[in-house]
Chains A and B, each alone.
Chain A
Amino acid sequence: MLTKTYSPLKDKILEVLDYKGKVVNEKLVPKLDKEFLLNMYKTMMLGRVADTKALQYQRQGRILTYAPIKGQEAAQVGVIAALDKQDWMVPAFRELAGMLYKGAPLKQLFMYWYGNEEGNHFDKDLKILPISVPIASQLNHAAGLAYASKIKKKGEVVVAYVGDGGTSHGEFHEAVNFSAVFDLPVIIIIQNNQWAISTPRSSQTKAKTLAHKAIGYGIEGIQVDGNDPLAMYIATKEAKEKALRGEGPTLIEALTYRLGPHTTSDDPSIYRSDDEVAYWEERDPITRFRIYLIELGHWTLEEDKALIKEYKDYVNKIFKEVEETGLIDLDEVFKYNYETMSEDLQNQLNEYKEYIKEAK
């Protein structure tokens, strides 16, 4: 069991690839075929290109606010790659690459940041809950999904995301504890990207690692190199198998880094040094995975260039489609507050429509 070998008490970090793309532990390399590995890599790359583009669109005033994922692609794709179709993904708000891997269409993901509720619901078969902005609040939903899965014997595992800052929140405690008490099939992924806006991880907790927190809840925890997609994959895979055996939740701390700003309204140069960013840029998850795949003979730099070009065009095309959606119709903003609109609400809408007609 990885969670035994890499127990938080042993101060060890689970790694498969080092930051130069070299295998650190041959025995841990998961047996994944070329197609599978390339699918992981390509999704990470699509996430990266979409992210870069989103920042560009924001600067051009075409998108309002956006929370970048740059640097966190492995902590997302590595996890979701270990899930099955029937498993649930419960995102926070910085999981674009993971959501892509789970099957969420890029157009819808962009729609959220474009400012349209269309980006908040995915095809139900994809088993992705809506983005959750109120920090840590989504974790209790994961517990509930898992509870239902458990008592109805659905065989679904639930992966829920939270940030390092989110682990300070009461909801984090409540959800992990609840999941632990009922041995629920939950995997909590802490994307420890070192910062919660301007607040460093060291100001969030005195715990030595975030994985340590698992101990107090009586569950297993593990600290993983979150920029190593293979390490994230095997940690999740083990947690999933354990969950399916009815042995309860696992807490996975993914050590990663937010290379971009918190959101497009943030200026990280105020609170962190260029050196720190440079250190993590060297540990870019995409770079190391690319080297690994090239060494394996699965990939070439030419293919890489072509892929980036293809994705740039694709992302631009998708974003055009997003922009074509324009403003939301008046009826739409009233329609979904209840299954049946109350008479009063209907009257509010009608009166407003009358006003619009008169005002013209």
Chain B
Amino acid sequence: MPLMTIIDAVKNTIDQQMELNDNVVTFGEDVGFEGGVFRATKGLQQKYGKERSFDTPLAESAIIGSAVGMAVNGLIPIPEIQFSGFVFPAINQIITHVARYRNRTKGTYSLPMVIRMPYGGGIRALEHHSESIESLFAHIPGLKVVIPSTPYDTKGLLTAAIKDPDPVIFLEPKRIYRAFKQEVPTEEYIVPIGKAKVVQQGDTITVVAWGAMVREVENAIKLLENEKINVELIDLRTIQPYDKQTLINSVKKTGRFLVVHEAYKSYGPGAELIATINEQAFLYLEAPPTRLAGFDITIPLPKGEHHFIITPKRIANEIKKVSSF
């Protein structure tokens, strides 16, 4: 099996799906000739031609709005938004059309499409290049929101997303795009949307994360090696719909719950998860379910970003606190 980074896995998957299905097309700013600023589509234009992999004019609303029409008319578009911070001009299309098309046509039309975008902080980038905005999408009925944390899952989840009859927002943790390699099968496989992964079993505390935060929690667990804390680490993998059962089962076992996310705290994904824990596992709780999340401030520019970033040390500290409550 070849070793791949997350970005390799993205490219490998789009390539494979374009090969298997003539209807799959991919496009966006600098996506065609250059293969995207992160090279996620590198070589695809050369391989499949300019009709199926192309540069668009600089206009996010056109990128997503045209994807709606393409999907209605038989294509499976995989539009790329260069950075999640530039999706906002397309939010109108995403919320008013992409999310609602199936419902408002009583199922006559569905919009199979995958809107890909790199997201998240920790890369000391310019303004608008560091936000974690998963809950903006997860809040909207009709959208699925998927976030991989490993190369293997990237391929499986992206394949599932492309085959999904409904629109999927595919958020790629750019901080770990090239952070590590993993064996990734060359053949097609699926990691189902809506299923979490128990990364590590444990019975002291349940810790949930996704995207780049999964690795930060793993690093935190290493810091806790000498403590008597057995963390059950769950990689949520899909924010909407999310795997309630896996979370609830885990909390029933551990009685303690911590969610770690870089997205802003207020009305962030953690609030939703904790509400579910309270609703469905309340009597099993031995400590208040807790969020370790981004502060409710605009993510600072690089010289202040370290205040915002959630470090393994902070996660370890929080795990200890919740575990000893």
Could you list which residues of chain A lie within 8 angstroms of chain B, going by C-beta atoms?
A: 64-65, 112, 114-117, 131, 133-135, 137, 165-166, 168-171, 196-199, 203-205, 265-266, 270-271, 325-328, 330, 332-334, 337, 344-345, 348-349, 352, 355, 358-359
* List of B residues within 8 angstroms of A325 by Cβ: 303
CB–CB B59/A117 < 8 A: no
Residue of B nearest to A198 (CB): B34
CB–CB B307/A348 < 8 A: no
CA–CA, A235 to B29, complex, Å? Answer: 32
* List of A residues within 8 angstroms of B302 by Cβ: 64, 114-116
B283 within 8 Å of A (CB atoms) = no
12 more contacts with CB within 8 A, not counting A115-B305, A116-B301, A134-B85, are A114-B303, A115-B303, A117-B301, A135-B58, A137-B89, A168-B58, A196-B58, A198-B34, A199-B55, A327-B303, A348-B295, A359-B313
CB–CB A359/B317 < 8 A: yes
Contact partner, A117, options B125, B128, B300, Cβ 8 Å: B300
Instruction: Give the Cβ gap from A120 to chain B, nearest Cβ, in Å.
Output: 8
Could you write out 6 A-B pairs with CB less than 8 Å apart?
A115-B303, A134-B128, A197-B34, A328-B300, A332-B304, A352-B295
Number of A-B residue pairs, CB cutoff 8 Å, is: 116
- The interface size of chain B toward A, counting residues with CB under 8 Å, comes to 38
B210 within 8 Å of A (CB atoms) = no
B37 within 8 Å of A (CB atoms) = yes
CB–CB A170/B303 < 8 A: no
B306 within 8 Å of A (CB atoms) = yes
Residue of B nearest to A334 (CB): B297
B20 within 8 Å of A (CB atoms) = no
With A197-B37, A198-B30, A271-B34 in contact, do A355 and B317 touch (Cβ < 8 Å)?
Answer: yes
* List of B residues within 8 angstroms of A198 by Cβ: 30, 33-34, 55
Residue of B nearest to A197 (CB): B30
* List of A residues within 8 angstroms of B48 by Cβ: none
Contact partner, B58, options A65, A166, A359, Cβ 8 Å: A166
Instruction: Give the Cβ gap from B293 to chain A, nearest Cβ, in Å.
Output: 9
CA–CA, A169 to B303, complex, Å? Answer: 31
CB–CB B57/A133 < 8 A: no
Contact partner, B306, options A65, A196, A327, Cβ 8 Å: A327
With A327-B303, A328-B300, A333-B297 in contact, do A133 and B128 touch (Cβ < 8 Å)?
Answer: yes
* List of B residues within 8 angstroms of A349 by Cβ: 295
Could you list which residues of chain B lie within 8 angstroms of chain A, going by C-beta atoms?
A: 29-30, 33-34, 37, 55, 57-59, 61-62, 85-86, 88-89, 124-128, 265-266, 295-298, 300-308, 313-314, 317
Instruction: Give the Cβ gap from A282 to chain B, nearest Cβ, in Å.
Output: 26
* List of A residues within 8 angstroms of B303 by Cβ: 114-116, 325-328
CB–CB A348/B296 < 8 A: yes
* List of A residues within 8 angstroms of B301 by Cβ: 112, 115-117, 328
Residue of A nearest to B34 (CB): A198
CA–CA, A131 to B297, complex, Å? Answer: 20
CB–CB B34/A270 < 8 A: yes
Q: Give 6 nearest A-B pairs by CB, closest first.
A: A115-B302, A328-B304, A168-B57, A198-B34, A165-B58, A115-B303
Instruction: Give the Cβ gap from A211 to chain B, nearest Cβ, in Å.
Output: 18
CA–CA, A225 to B56, complex, Å? Answer: 27
Instruction: Give the Cβ gap from A11 to chain B, nearest Cβ, in Å.
Output: 23
CA–CA, A81 to B296, complex, Å? Answer: 42
Contact partner, A133, options B33, B62, B126, Cβ 8 Å: B126
Instruction: Give the Cβ gap from B284 to chain A, nearest Cβ, in Å.
Output: 26
